C-alpha cells in the first residue's frame, strides 16, 4: 500500500513538472514567435522591442533623472518612424479633426496661429507632423488602434540596447555623421541670432549651434533621413520631441514600480522626450533627458510616434 502511494506521488510530481515545463516552453515560444516587424493600421512599420530589463535614468544628469533604476518591460511594438504629415493628413481627412496649429517662435507675425501645412519648411509629406498637442497625438493613436508609448518604453527603445551611454549612438560629442537632425551648422546659417536650445528656460537667451556637425537640415527632416539606432528605430534623438503617455513627476524615479511603470495617475504636464531640430546643447539630446509640457500646448518642435502592446 505504501509503495503504491509512493509510486502515485512520484507520477504526480513528474506530471506536474512536465506540465510546468510545457507551459513555460509555450510562453517562451509565444515570445519567440512575435514578428520582429509589423505594419500598423496606418501603414506605418513597427519594430518589436522584446521583453526584458534595462537601466533607466542617469546619475549624472538632471535631478529628475535620478536614480538609475532597473525596469522590466513586457514586449511592445514601437513605430519605426515619427508620425508624418501624410499619415496625420489622412486622419484629419477621415475624421474631420482639426489641422495642426500653434506657436512658432521663428514667425513672430503669426504668433500662436501658425499653420505648418501652409509653410514650405514644415508641410512635406515625409516630414514629422508638428504643432499637435498631447490630446491630438492621443486622438490619432486611438484612431489607428495604437497608443502613446510610456516614458519607460520610449527610453528603452531609444537606448537601442546600449547600456550606460549618454546618447542613442554612444558617448561621442559632437554627434557622428548621419546621427540625427539637430541645430547644426546649417541651422546656424538660417537662424542667426536665434536660439531655443535651453528648453527649460524661456525666453531664448543667445544663439548657438553644434559646431563641427552638419546634418544638412535647418527644419524638420523627412522621416528616416539618418541612421537608425540599435533597435532599428529612426530619429529617437533629434528631429522632433515626442509626446509620451505619462504625467510628469520630477520625483517619480524614486518610487516608480520596477515592472511596466506608467507614471502617476494625474498631474499638470506630460512627458516629452528626444530633442529636436532646434536643439544644440549636448544635455537635452541625451537618451535619459526628461522634459515636460502642458498637454494642451503645441509647438513647432514637438510631434510623436505610436506604440502598441505585443499580443
- Give average pLDDT by consecutive 10-residue segment, the chain, 311 residues: 46 39 40 90 97 97 96 98 98 98 79 90 98 98 98 98 96 96 91 55 55 95 98 98 98 96 97 94 94 94 97 77
As given in the structure block, the three cell numbers for residue 39 are 505594419
What is the C-alpha separation between 73 and 157, in angstroms, rounded?
A: 11
Contact 306, 148 (CB under 8 A): yes
Q: What is the pLDDT of residue 248?
A: 98
Contact 170, 197 (CB under 8 A): no
Closest to 236 in 3D by CA, of 167, 185, 150, 282? 167
Q: How many CA atoms lie within 13 A of 70 on its CB side?
A: 2
Tally of residues, the chain? 311
Q: What is the pLDDT of residue 209?
A: 86
What is the C-alpha separation between 128 and 303, in angstroms, rounded?
A: 7
> Counting beta carbons within 10 angstroms of the beta carbon of residue 78, is it exposed (0 to 12), middle (13 to 18) or buried (19 or more)?
buried
Q: What is the Cα 40 distance to its own chain's centre?
A: 17
Q: What is the pLDDT of residue 33?
A: 87
- What CA–CA distances, in Å, run from 6 to 10, 13, 14, 42, 87? 6, 11, 12, 60, 66
Q: What is the pLDDT of residue 204?
A: 44
Q: What is the pLDDT of residue 156?
A: 98
Q: What is the pLDDT of residue 243?
A: 98
Contact 217, 122 (CB under 8 A): no
Q: What is the pLDDT of residue 39?
A: 97
Q: What is the pLDDT of residue 30?
A: 53
Beta bridge partners of 47: 37, 78
Decide: pTM greater than 0.85. Answer: yes
Cα angle value 94/127/40 (rounded, 5°): 50
Q: What is the pLDDT of residue 24?
A: 41
Beta strands at 302-303 and 241-247: parallel, antiparallel or unpaired: parallel
Q: What is the pLDDT of residue 31?
A: 64
Amino acid at each position: 500500500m505504501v509503495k503504491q502511494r509512493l509510486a502515485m506521488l512520484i507520477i504526480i510530481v513528474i506530471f506536474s513538472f512536465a506540465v510546468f515545463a510545457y507551459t513555460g516552453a509555450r510562453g517562451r515560444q509565444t515570445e519567440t514567435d512575435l514578428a520582429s516587424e509589423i505594419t500598423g493600421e496606418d501603414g506605418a512599420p513597427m519594430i518589436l522591442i522584446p521583453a526584458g530589463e534595462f537601466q533607466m535614468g542617469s546619475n549624472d544628469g538632471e535631478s529628475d533623472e535620478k536614480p538609475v533604476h532597473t525596469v522590466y518591460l513586457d514586449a511592445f511594438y514601437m513605430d519605426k518612424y515619427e508620425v508624418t504629415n501624410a499619415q496625420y493628413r489622412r486622419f484629419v481627412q477621415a475624421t474631420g479633426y482639426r489641422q495642426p496649429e500653434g506657436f512658432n517662435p521663428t514667425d513672430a507675425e503669426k504668433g500662436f496661429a501658425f499653420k505648418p501645412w501652409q509653410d514650405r519648411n514644415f508641410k512635406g509629406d515625409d516630414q514629422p507632423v508638428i504643432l499637435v498637442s498631447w490630446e491630438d497625438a492621443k486622438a490619432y493613436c486611438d484612431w489607428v488602434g495604437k497608443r502613446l508609448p510610456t516614458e519607460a518604453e520610449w527610453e528603452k527603445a531609444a537606448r537601442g540596447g546600449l547600456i550606460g551611454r549618454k546618447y542613442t549612438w554612444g558617448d561621442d560629442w559632437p554627434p557622428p555623421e548621419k546621427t540625427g537632425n539637430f541645430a547644426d551648422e546649417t541651422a546656424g546659417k538660417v537662424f542667426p541670432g536665434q536660439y531655443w536650445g535651453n528648453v527649460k528656460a524661456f525666453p531664448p537667451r543667445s544663439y548657438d549651434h553644434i559646431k563641427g556637425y552638419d546634418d544638412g537640415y535647418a527644419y524638420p527632416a523627412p522621416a528616416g533621413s539618418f541612421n537608425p539606432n540599435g533597435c532599428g528605430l529612426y530619429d529617437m534623438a533629434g528631429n522632433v520631441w515626442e509626446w509620451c503617455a505619462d504625467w510628469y513627476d520630477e520625483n517619480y524615479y524614486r518610487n516608480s514600480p520596477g515592472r511596466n511603470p506608467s507614471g502617476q495617475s494625474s498631474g499638470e504636464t506630460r512627458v516629452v522626450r528626444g530633442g529636436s531640430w532646434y536643439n544644440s546643447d549636448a544635455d537635452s539630446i541625451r537618451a535619459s533627458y526628461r522634459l515636460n509640457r502642458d498637454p494642451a500646448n503645441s509647438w513647432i518642435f514637438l510631434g510623436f510616434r505610436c506604440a502598441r502592446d505585443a499580443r
